[in-house]
Copies of this chain bind each other. A is one copy, B any other.
Amino acid sequence: MASTLFFTNCHLSPFSSTAAAALRRHPIRVAPTSLRFLALHSAPSQSSRVAAVAAMGTEASAKVIDGKLVAKQIRDEITAEVSRMKEAIGVVPGLAVILVGDRKDSATYVRNKQKACEAAGINSLEAFLPEDSTEEEVLNYISGYNEDPSVHGILVQLPLPSHMNEQNILNAITIEKDVDGFHPLNIGRLAMRDREPLFVPCTPKGCIELLRRYGVSIKGTRAVVIGRSNIVGMPAALLLQREDATVSVVHSKTLNPEEIIRQADIVISAAGQPHMVRGSWIKPGAVIIDVGINPVEDPNSTRGYRLIGDVCYEEAIKVASAVTPVPGGVGPMTIAMLLQNTLNSAKRIHKFE
């Protein structure tokens, strides 16, 4: 971290070369983290549709898509539903989270999930296993939760320690409780026409929900997804296609990303590259959903870093018709969708409508 860093708008250096390498290994860090974004651009509404996006491209400054506000609305809706189910049939949804090892960021996410569950009235069970646990021990926990009728959703916090086979462990979760939606059977159904996945992965589901609640019409649009990860990019592309968008997926081997992104009416960026998408890459009037949460050094922050998106927000806001900020955009939606998946699972298992 010897380099001098500048943070003038979109001209910045990444966190550090070490951090940049780590980012390349784990490009997307979707986290229900910092809820510091306080600039609420519209008052909470009773309606599920927050507000219609202003006519595309006619405004000098884009609408800010307020994920924190929408997530709050959704969590309130979930709280009401959880309460209604409890009163009607005496069932409380339960989410089990398995955390292996002592990664600080993972521990933070799990704690945030726990708090969000409690706030919504969902039972939260946690299994904290030491870093040197065996794969079998993790599988035993999963097996127990698979059988436990009080558990309706099971989540294994990733990444797992390197001595474990992630695929074996994720596949062991019964698909009826796969609230992360990462089981290949759920992904296969998501890809197929006339099939319905039991669960859709939380972050891409949150992206689509933001578009829906902001009244963005998807059908017939050109959409570009940046990144093709199993947890965000790929399922986001499948979801957009299910909504009848014409989808292009841009990734690290794409030769001319800006040319393709410039054609998009809707961009979902999950590249994990700080401020990769510049204003000049954006079609005037496009809607931009920025999934990237990238740490960059910031001597003015008490933590020594701050989080920025894949999209150069200051430039995008001048070109697009609507943009998600980072933080406060997609981030808060992920945990709201996790709660929704857990509630829906409990409803399905108990045939409650």
Contact = CB atoms under 8 A, between A and B. Distances in A.
A148 B54 CA distance: 62
A281 to B, nearest CB: 15
Contact of A192 (B184, B241, B250): B184
Given A184-B185, A220-B254, A253-B220, A192 B230 contact: yes
A250 B246 contact: yes
B241 A246 contact: no
Contacts of A219: 253
* Number of this chain's copies in the complex: 2
Given A184-B189, A186-B188, A187-B188, A246 B254 contact: yes
Q: What is the interface residue range for chain A against chain B?
A: 20 to 34
A114 interface: no
A13 interface: no
A310 B193 CA distance: 21
A208 B255 CA distance: 21
Nearest to A230: B192
Contact of A183 (B183, B188, B251): B188
Contacts of A189: 184, 188
Interface string A234-250: 10001001001011111
A-B interface, 6 closest residue pairs, ranked by CB to CB distance from nearest: A188-B188, A184-B188, A187-B188, A248-B248, A244-B253, A246-B254
Interface of A: 167, 183-195, 219-220, 222, 228-230, 234, 238, 241, 244, 246-251, 253-255, 260
